[in-house]
Structure formats: structure tokens, C-alpha cells
A and B are shown apart, each in its own frame.
Chain A
């Protein structure tokens, strides 16, 4: 009895030792050389594997970054500048500072603004709906309201507002991975710089129809009147294809375009005070009058000289 136990222990011990030697030898022989920086970078990245960077996941991102030796083709929108700086430190390279971005829904076609003209009873998916027809409102550019973007968001940052029928972005959760942008068949979601303290301006409409058509479909549509373009002193607003667009790089957040917009298609968000439209309009009028006076003053001396001559 004792003998059996002793022999079992001895055999298993010897077997274990021999096999461990085999494993040791195999591990050395077939070792895969891998840059330790890949692991390091992967740990630094957020680890959401969302694919927002364009790679299959965080490891693929790290692999590509190490192989390239720089970060020219890599940017993690979720981690943003902070993470990218850490990754750059590991790689020992420079990285350009990028402003943090956030998803912006560019449609104001709420149930109140944009009445339904037919009833859709197909699958509740924007993709399916867009493949079938232009939508259940008169606007063929706006939100279809089936929530494909909400389903696409891996961070729970989007939700449908049942009152407006439009998706809403929770800025604290949005990582600007761009999944919603790709999921929207109407391409109304845009990634825009967050702006100082979250303050930013944008045109909440993508309707390329002519003014009257757009207005008929939706009371908050951009009608391409060009007032905002004329008012903007920074050249940030351009109107093309009957719809205005604000270039976030040029916008100085003066909110003048928002004040003059006749339909309220231009939105300013996260400003500390609500916009006093009349005051801003007065300011613009005064400035215009002053400019006109200055122009006349500049033109008049020439006339006087002519008279004198």
C-alpha cells in the first residue's frame, strides 16, 4: 500500500520535471519576438475596442503605431490628446495637439417643427427606411428617427428623445469614436470640436432643398437665405447648396449668426447666458451704421477735393 503511494509520487514528480524541461525548451525555441512597446501602448489605450480609430481594435492600433514608428496615421478619438501624448512618449515621437471632439446631431426636425406626411410601418431601422423611401416627413435630408445611431453607440452616449423624436448626445459620455456618424444613412451627425468650456455653434440642418421647399417641410430648416454668411465678420459661415455651414476653426462664438437666423436653424450650446437676440441685432445694426458712416466719410473727402479743384 505504502509502496504504491511512494511510486506514484516518484513517477509523477519525475514526469513533471521532464515535461517542464520540454516546455522550457519549446518556449525558448519557438519564442515570438514582439516589441514590448505594443503591450505598453495597448495598456495605455482606453481598451474599448470600438474601432473609432479605423483599426480593428486597440491592439491593432498599437501594432500599427509601433510598426510605423510614428503617430501620423493613428489617432485615438476616445482617449484624445491626453492618451495620444502618453502613446507618443512610449514611442518617443511627437504628436500634434488635437482639440477634443463631440458628436453633434445636425437636425432640428422635431415632431413640432416637422409634421409627418405619411406613416411608416416597416422595420424600425433608419437604414431600411432610407432604402425604401425618403422618410415620413417632407424633409428628405433630416433625421429618420428610428435610432440606428443609438444602437451603434457603444458608450451609451446617444438616446432618442421621445418628445422631439430626435437623438440626443450626452456630452459627458461621447468619445467621438464616429460610430454614429457611419450608422446614420442621412449623414446628419458630425464630429465637431467641443469648443472652449463646451461652447460651440453649429447649423442644425442639412436640408439642401431650396428655401421655400425646406421651410414647407420643416419650420426650423435652414433656408439658405445667407443672412448668417453676410453677418459673420470672421468668414466662418458659408452657404452652399442652400444650406449654411459653420467652420469651427474660424468661429469666434460671437453668436451673431444665431441672432439673425430667421428660422432658428443655428444653435449655440453650453453658453452661460441665453442669447439676447435683440441686443445682438442692435449691436450689428449699430456696427453696420458706423461702418457705413466711415465709408461715406472716406468717400466724401475725395469729393471735396474735386470741388476744390
Chain B
């Protein structure tokens, strides 16, 4: 069968899935967790607990701060120590709830048994409510609240649900591991989301470098026999897991500039989100755990791990459990090497969307910048059809009108331009600022209307 891929741009970075054969291990509970109030896209959550309160695992500790926001639950049982600002991954102050861990007692009504619940609830509103109340957000990177995404605005209908199992970022293996180890749950989660979206067909897209996962998911789909779910093999190519790229690959439809996937009838969810939806709807279990990879090019394979962590565990605690920061690591990244964020503060707490601790060696340092030789590789590599070299120049000239004309706001910040540039010009760094500037102008204009 033909392997699918998107039509323009893209790069082929080395695979480096070093931790792919490491089974998911459950991390022991730390003495303390710090639960961030800013774990999702949109408004910050508002804490509803005070110091001294006793909480159980799975209990709501913060309410959504707006329409696009999410509930936050306590990942552990214990006593709330403080509700105060604490430094996040980037070193900025964010409100955190600090909880002293005492035992591991879960709130009532949560099904912790390992049995697979395959019967899909009939009531759409019930499913959406469960997803919302259990704080499920997109775990593919953007952490957009799932209940909002699964509830298209009136007049728009989903033709296809795409489950993103591409995991096109090098090094990361957490999605691959859950596809192997929690296959059935992911497939049931997909069926639940199908139900919400009006029984639309579902495509599970997996990159060709994960043949074991493809076989496992195919077997599971056949065994569970939900209607309208099929598995498609995707070519190995970055950024295959980008929302718009995946829609192009699977449905051969392009989202127009400034548009949303639902405009072309697509809803894309990550496989990890599907697992969270399964747990939220079928087990009534809030999103308080996720899978994370500890990996890197300077870490021996036996020290690489895939962990099931509780949200709020400090990164430093996880690093310690994995044997500490290795010698020779010069960079620490949370997320993949292409789009991940540098860890400026290892004491930062994990959030719902944490996907890795990546140690990179000296070889990954940036090389000195040279002059642009006008080779056009950045424009060839851009999966959104933009011209990064031009955008950088326009930004330097401060021409916001021309930047908008050249659709800088369509940039998905995948980093293909920077990766492909032979002169090591920091294209994305500048484009990201240009994008923020233009987005601000567009928002201000829309607000005026």
C-alpha cells in the first residue's frame, strides 16, 4: 500500500529513536509535586485549594480561567503546602500548587482497574462533559483543550478524525511505546472521539519507522472491530505530525492561510490524547499521568527510559531517577530536538504536555552564522510554502505589512528552515518574533471589527 505524506517541503533528520525498545516504567512518587496552573493553551486555571487542604489524587484543584482553558487535578494525595508563583521551564514565574505527598489515595468514582471498557457511551454531551471535567488537553505539543476541539462550531462538521501517531520528532519514543503497550485503549479512545464527532471515519496515521506499532494497532483495530477505523502508513519525514501536514497527507486537503483544520472537515488528535480521552471517558480518570522519554545522544542506551510520570513531578526528580544528568550533556531540552524548549530551569515541574528530557552533546551546538548564499533551501524545506529568507529580511526592515502579505502567521515553527540552512542563519528565531508581531496586529484588527 502506498505510503502517505504531505506535498511540499519537509526534511529528513536522523531518526535517533534510541529509547524505542525501553518499556514504560512507572516512576515512584516524589516527596513533593508542584502543579502548574498553566498547563494548557488559553487562560490560566484558577486554583480552588488553599494551603493546609487535604487532597486526593484525581481531585479538582483548579478551575478553567476562561472558555479556552482546562480543569487541573491533583496528581497525588496529600496536603496542599502552598499556592504561589514558581519558576517554570523557561524561568518565568507561574502560579503553582505545591502538594506534600502522603500515601496514594484516589478520589472516588475513578476506575483504576486494568480491564478494558469497550462499550462506547451513546450520549455525546456525557462524553464531552467527561473530557472537560477530567482536564484533557491535546498532548501532541500545543496542549489545546480537547473538549473545545472536539466540539466544532455550528455549521462545521468533521468528515474525518485523524489520530496522529507519526511522532516525527527525532529521539522521542513515548508515543511509540504507548502505541505498543496501550494499543487497545488508544483504539477505544479513537472510537469515543468518533462518537462525539458524529460517527465520522477515523484514520490512525503512523510513520513507517514504527512497523511494530503499525502491526499492533492493525491487529487491535481488527479485534475490537469498531466501524470506520483504519490505519495508514506515513512516510518518514519531518514534520509529518504537524496538524496541517497530516491533513494534507491523509485527506489530500489543504487548510487555507489563517484557517482551522475543521474548515476542511478534519479533526486531528494525538495518540496520547486518545489514551487520555479513553481514561477520562471510560474510566473517569483525570489527566494526571503522561508518558515521557529520557533520552539523548550522550546517554548510553541502558540509561534511556520511557516513564509514566505523574504531572507535577519536578524534572530534576525524574532526571535523578534516571541516573542524573549525564557527563557531556551541554543542552537539556523538553520536547523533541526540533521544536522542544530548552530547559533553563531543571527544577521546573512537569506539565500535562511534557514529553521528554533530552540531553544533547557538544556536537549539537549552533555553528557560527555565515552570509546568506541565496540557495533557497529554506524555501524548499518549508512545509507551509513560505520563504524564510525573505521573512527574515522583512522582519529586519520592520515591514509588518509585507510580512503579513507573505503569510508569516502561517509559520508552524517546525524549524525546517533553520535545519536546512547551509549558512546556519537563525531564520526561525527571527520569524518567530515576526509572527508574534503580525499575529498581534491581526488580533488588534479583528478586535476593532
A residues with CB within 8 A of B: 118, 121-123, 125, 127-128, 131-135, 140, 209
Stretch at the interface among B144-152, B257-265, B425-433: B425-433
- B24: A residues at CB distance < 8 A: none
Complex: A229 Cα to B436 Cα, angstroms: 40
Interface pair A133/B429, CB less than 8 Å apart: no
With known contacts A127-B433, A133-B344, A122–B366 Cβ distance under 8 A: yes
With known contacts A131-B436, A134-B92, A140-B91, A118–B430 Cβ distance under 8 A: no
Chain A binding site: helix, strand, loop or mixed by DSSP? loop
Point out the residue from A128, A135, A140 that lies within 8 Å of B429, measured CB to CB: A128
Interface pair A132/B342, CB less than 8 Å apart: yes
Sample of 6 further A-B pairs with CB below 8 A, known A131-B432, A133-B92, A140-B87: A118-B344, A128-B433, A132-B342, A133-B344, A134-B87, A134-B90
Complex: A132 Cα to B89 Cα, angstroms: 11
B residues with CB within 8 A of A: 87, 89-93, 341-342, 344, 365-366, 426, 429-430, 432-433, 436
With known contacts A118-B344, A122-B366, A122-B426, A131–B91 Cβ distance under 8 A: no
- B89: A residues at CB distance < 8 A: 133
Interface pair A123/B429, CB less than 8 Å apart: yes
Can you identify 24 A-B contacts, CB atoms within 8 angstroms? A121-B365, A122-B366, A122-B429, A123-B429, A125-B429, A127-B433, A128-B426, A128-B429, A128-B430, A128-B433, A131-B433, A131-B436, A132-B341, A132-B342, A133-B90, A133-B92, A133-B341, A133-B344, A134-B90, A134-B92, A134-B344, A140-B87, A140-B93, A209-B93
Complex: A118 Cα to B89 Cα, angstroms: 13
- A122: B residues at CB distance < 8 A: 366, 426, 429
**Smallest Cβ-Cβ distance to B369: which chain A residue:** A123
- B90: A residues at CB distance < 8 A: 132-134
- B87: A residues at CB distance < 8 A: 134, 140
In the assembled complex, the CB of A33 is this many whole angstroms from the nearest CB of chain B, namely: 32
- A121: B residues at CB distance < 8 A: 365-366
Complex: A14 Cα to B91 Cα, angstroms: 80
With known contacts A132-B90, A133-B342, A123–B436 Cβ distance under 8 A: no
Interface pair A134/B91, CB less than 8 Å apart: yes
- A134: B residues at CB distance < 8 A: 87, 90-92, 344
- B342: A residues at CB distance < 8 A: 132-133
- B430: A residues at CB distance < 8 A: 123, 128
In the assembled complex, the CB of B176 is this many whole angstroms from the nearest CB of chain A, namely: 28
- B91: A residues at CB distance < 8 A: 133-135, 140
In the assembled complex, the CB of A208 is this many whole angstroms from the nearest CB of chain B, namely: 9
**Smallest Cβ-Cβ distance to A137: which chain B residue:** B91
Complex: A121 Cα to B369 Cα, angstroms: 11
Candidate in B91, B342, B365, B436 with the most chain A CB atoms within 10 angstroms: B91
**Smallest Cβ-Cβ distance to B365: which chain A residue:** A121
**Smallest Cβ-Cβ distance to A136: which chain B residue:** B344
Complex: A74 Cα to B87 Cα, angstroms: 43
Complex: A246 Cα to B257 Cα, angstroms: 49
**Smallest Cβ-Cβ distance to A128: which chain B residue:** B429
Q: Report, nearest first, the 9 A-B pairs whose CB atoms are least far apart.
A: A134-B91, A133-B90, A133-B344, A123-B429, A123-B426, A128-B429, A121-B366, A134-B92, A133-B91
Complex: A135 Cα to B91 Cα, angstroms: 8
In the assembled complex, the CB of A151 is this many whole angstroms from the nearest CB of chain B, namely: 11
- B92: A residues at CB distance < 8 A: 133-134, 140
Complex: A302 Cα to B392 Cα, angstroms: 78
Complex: A70 Cα to B344 Cα, angstroms: 52
**Smallest Cβ-Cβ distance to B93: which chain A residue:** A140
Complex: A122 Cα to B428 Cα, angstroms: 11
Complex: A125 Cα to B87 Cα, angstroms: 23
Complex: A122 Cα to B342 Cα, angstroms: 11
Complex: A133 Cα to B348 Cα, angstroms: 13
Complex: A121 Cα to B362 Cα, angstroms: 12
